[in-house]
Every structure is written in C-alpha cells, then in structure tokens.
C-alpha cells in the first residue's frame, strides 16, 4: 500500500534528500585498516601479504601461509571534526568510538593450492553532531554498517609467482541518516516553530570480485598487486518523519518507501617490498580508488519523482611507506606513513564526511608466543583544514560554509592462531 505525502511538505523532503546519503569516515567510504599488522605499516602490505589478512590486501599472498591460519581482531576508531562557521561559531562532533571487526581463515591444501575466507568491514562508519548544531537540518547523524565476506582461492604457479581470485559478498545492515525538518516553513508559519525528525534507513546486498598476483623478484624483493571491482549498492528502506507537532494535523508520523543507489569504487593496490637486511623490511604501495564513478545518487520515494543529487567525485590515490623491524626472534616493530588525496570537490562537500587530503602516521608491534601471534597498531589521521563555500544546505535555509578540521585516532589489535 502506497503512502501519501502532503504536497506542501514534499519540497522540504526533496531538500533534505539532496544530502542523502552522506556516510563515511576516512577516504570517502573506505576503511583502510583491515588488520593490526597491516595497520602498523600504514597498510603498505600488498607485496608482503604474509598473514591471513592478505585476503584483503592481496589474495595471492595466502599461498605463503602454512597449514591452517585464523586471524581475528578489531579496530576502535575515534573521529573528531571541528567546524568554524563564517561568523566564527565553533562546534564539533559528538565523541564516539566505532568498533570495526575483522576475521580471516586460510588453509593450505597442498604445495600449490590455498583457500581462505575473510569477514571484514572495508567501507562504512559514520558521524554525529548535536541535534541543535549547524548540521541539524542538513543531516546531524549518519551511519553505514557494511560487512563483506570474501571466499578466495589462490594458486602457486611456480616458485616465483602466485595468483589469487575471490568473490566479494557485501551486506549493508544499516545505512541511515537523521535530520531535523522545519515543517512550519511549508505552511508559511514562523520558521522553527514546527519541527519534526527525519530518518532514512536502508539496507542492501551486492557482490563483486577481486584478483591478486604476487611475484618474487629475488630472495630480497617482491612485487604485489590486487584489484577489487566496483559494486553498486541498491539500497531499499524507509523515509520517516516523526514527532510531527499535533497542531499541523498530519498525524504523529509520515512514512514511505525509499530507494537509493551508492557505488563503491573499484580499487587497485600495488606494492614493492624489499628486505634491506636480516632485520629491516620496507614496502611502498600506491592505491587507486575509482571514486569518479560516484557522479550522483539516485533517490526515489514511492509514488514521487526521482530526486537529483549530484556528487561529481574524482579518483583518489593513497601513497604509503611501511617499515618492519625484527627486534627479536619473537618481536617485530612497525611504523608507516601515508598520504591520501580527497575524492570530494568543494561543490558537493558535506558536513557529514570529513574528507580532505590526509596525512597518516602509524605504529605497530607484533609478539609471537607458541602458535599465537598478537599484533597491536595505532593510527593517527590528520586532515588538511578545509574551507568550504558552497550551496549545500541552502535549500533548507542553512549553511555549512566555514572551516572543517578533522582528526582520527585508530587503535587496532589482531590475534592469529597457526594450526
């Protein structure tokens, strides 16, 4: 049964939807850290790929692993963004910690063949401002919870070359955005007198694929590369206005079906690793993310026209250098640095995505104890301050213009069991 929406508030709904969905944390939607070992080396891991998290970084790498390997862990992500308006008013996001889990399983079938399964969260997270902040009417909270399963097969072609192939199965359990909506403005009443709450909540399933190759140049040098296909998330869910003032005579809530399409970017990761000596190893990686595919977001409300929503993002690049130092037989120290370019142009920059050029510094340590390996990592992400002057929010009579300054702390731990 189709839900009717009062035409007088339809214009306000359209204005709100221009900002949906705007969910993410680091580089667009990407969560770069997918194991504590990779994190410690700034995720310069495509050519090293020597633990089960290779299922994410380069699936060909699992041919290097003996027996059965299980790796599980979590990252705790603490983002913060400060906004200074053109009038000098300072506000910042609500302090929250987002848990991002990961788990990988690999098994060597014979000298040539290995299989694996990964469960991780490569895209997602979110952001939240106070409900009375500058972001109240353009989206004060958003969330993307995506889980990816990655069944993989890898084959050792010869002593120097391995290849891998896998399927990416994505499940979005919750993609949502919250906002205030000024219902009074639709009736020519005093703006701010009649305020309701809006929430869009959607979910989706989708799939893609990934490929990897690992080549040994000599005893001290390796090359690695992986590719992940782009994926279109066809989201379906509901658009709901609640807490509607009784004086408007619209009932306590309005609800209708909503659909949107979000493209996740294709990615190429390429790395060069070298053992400098018996203790020190270095790797340099370059990542390419096809964010130029994110040209617009198609949004449909049931029985209403599509909502135009341009994005016009551009391709993004990550340059990473990681170091691994074998301090003792059972103790490794790691460090890394990365620089990433933002995919978001000023014209479509939104308050809910802290997406500026990034400087990433990492530290890590790995301990071995019998069949167990424990890795711990820390990441500090510093964003370039960005001054914004665009039309985002103008449709609902507000402005997000001003300076955005963001920082993220990430703490990671992984435990690996060798059987």
Q: What is the pLDDT of residues 10-62, one digit of tens each?
A: 555 655 555 554 444 445 568 889 999 999 999 999 999 999 999 999 999 99
Q: Report pLDDT for 295.
A: 81
Tokens of residue 131, six digits: 């409900």
* Cα–Cα distance for residue pair 228/265, rounded to 1 Å: 8
Q: Report pLDDT for 2.
A: 43
157 in a domain, yes or no? yes
CB 328 within 8 A of CB 340: no
Quickly state the pLDDT bin for 150 (edges 50, 70, 90).
very high
Q: Report pLDDT for 24.
A: 45
Widest distance between CA atoms in the chain: 77
Kindly state the percentage of the chain with pLDDT values over 90. 50
pLDDT digits (tens, 9 = 90+) for 115-130: 999 999 888 767 888 9
pLDDT mean over 298-314: 73
Quickly state the pLDDT bin for 215 (edges 50, 70, 90).
very high
Query: Looking at 53-62, 152-161, 401-410, which range is the least confident one?
Result: 401-410
Q: Report pLDDT for 204.
A: 86
Give the residue among 193, 228, 242, 208 at the shortest CA–CA distance from 56.
228
pLDDT mean over 67-87: 92
Q: What is the number of alpha carbons within 13 Å of residue 404 lying toward its C-beta?
A: 24
pLDDT digits (tens, 9 = 90+) for 351-403: 777 678 999 999 999 999 999 999 999 999 999 888 888 877 676 777 888 89
Q: Report pLDDT for 146.
A: 84
1 in a domain, yes or no? no
Domain total of the chain: 1
73 in a domain, yes or no? yes
177 in a domain, yes or no? yes
pLDDT mean over 286-301: 84
Q: Report pLDDT for 23.
A: 45
375 in a domain, yes or no? yes
2 in a domain, yes or no? no
Top pLDDT among 180 and 45 is at: 45
CATH number where 62 lies: 2.40.160.60
Peptide bond between residue 21 and the one before it cis (omega within 30 degrees of 0): yes
Indicate the average pLDDT of the chain.
Answer: 86
Q: Report pLDDT for 311.
A: 80
pLDDT digits (tens, 9 = 90+) for 243-263: 888 877 778 888 888 888 888
* Cα–Cα distance for residue pair 324/22, rounded to 1 Å: 36
| Structural domain of 125 | 7-418
Query: Looking at 183-197, 257-271, 315-329, 366-380, which range is the least confident one?
Result: 183-197
Kindly state the percentage of the chain with pLDDT values over 70. 89
139 in a domain, yes or no? yes
């Amino acid at each position: 049964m189709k839900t009717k929406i009062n035409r007088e508030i339809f214009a306000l709904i359209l204005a709100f939807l221009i900002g949906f969905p705007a969910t993410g944390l680091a580089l667009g939607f990407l969560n770069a850290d997918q194991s504590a070992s990779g994190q410690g080396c700034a995720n310069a891991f495509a050519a090293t790929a020597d633990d089960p998290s290779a299922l994410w970084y380069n699936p060909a790498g699992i041919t290097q692993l003996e027996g059965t390997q299980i790796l599980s862990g979590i990252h705790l992500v603490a983002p913060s963004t400060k906004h200074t308006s053109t009038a000098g008013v300072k506000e910042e996001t609500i302090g929250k910690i987002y848990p991002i889990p990961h788990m990988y399983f690999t098994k060597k079938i014979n000298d040539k063949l290995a299989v694996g399964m990964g469960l991780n969260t490569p895209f997602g997270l979110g952001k939240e401002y106070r409900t009375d902040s500058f972001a109240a009417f353009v989206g004060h909270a958003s969330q993307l919870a995506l889980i990816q399963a990655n069944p993989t097969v890898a084959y050792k072609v010869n002593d120097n070359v391995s290849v891998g192939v896998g399927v990416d199965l994505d499940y979005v359990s919750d993609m949502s955005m919250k906002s205030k909506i000024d219902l009074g403005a639709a009736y020519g009443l005093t703006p701010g007198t009649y305020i309701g709450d809006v929430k869009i909540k959607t979910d989706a399933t989708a799939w893609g694929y990934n490929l990897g190759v690992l080549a040994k140049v000599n005893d001290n040098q390796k090359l690695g590369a992986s590719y992940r296909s782009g994926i279109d998330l066809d989201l379906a869910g509901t658009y709901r206005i609640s807490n509607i003032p009784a004086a408007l005579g619209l009932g306590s809530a309005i609800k209708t079906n909503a659909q949107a399409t979000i493209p996740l970017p294709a990615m190429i990761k390429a790395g060069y690793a070298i053992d400098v000596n018996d203790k020190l190893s270095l790797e340099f990686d370059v990542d390419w993310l096809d964010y130029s595919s994110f040209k617009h977001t198609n949004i449909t409300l049931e029985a209403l026209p599509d909502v135009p929503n341009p994005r016009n993002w551009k391709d993004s690049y990550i340059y990473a250098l990681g170091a691994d130092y074998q301090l003792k037989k059972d103790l490794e120290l790691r460090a890394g640095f990365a620089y990433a370019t933002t995919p978001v142009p000023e014209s479509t920059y939104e308050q809910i995505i802290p997406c500026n050029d990034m400087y990433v510094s990492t530290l890590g340590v790995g301990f071995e104890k019998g069949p167990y390996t424990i890795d711990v990592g820390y990441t500090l992400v510093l964003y370039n301050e960005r001054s914004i002057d665009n039309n985002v929010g103008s449709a609902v009579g507000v402005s997000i213009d001003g300076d955005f300054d963001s920082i993220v702390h990430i703490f990671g731990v992984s435990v690996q069991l060798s059987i």
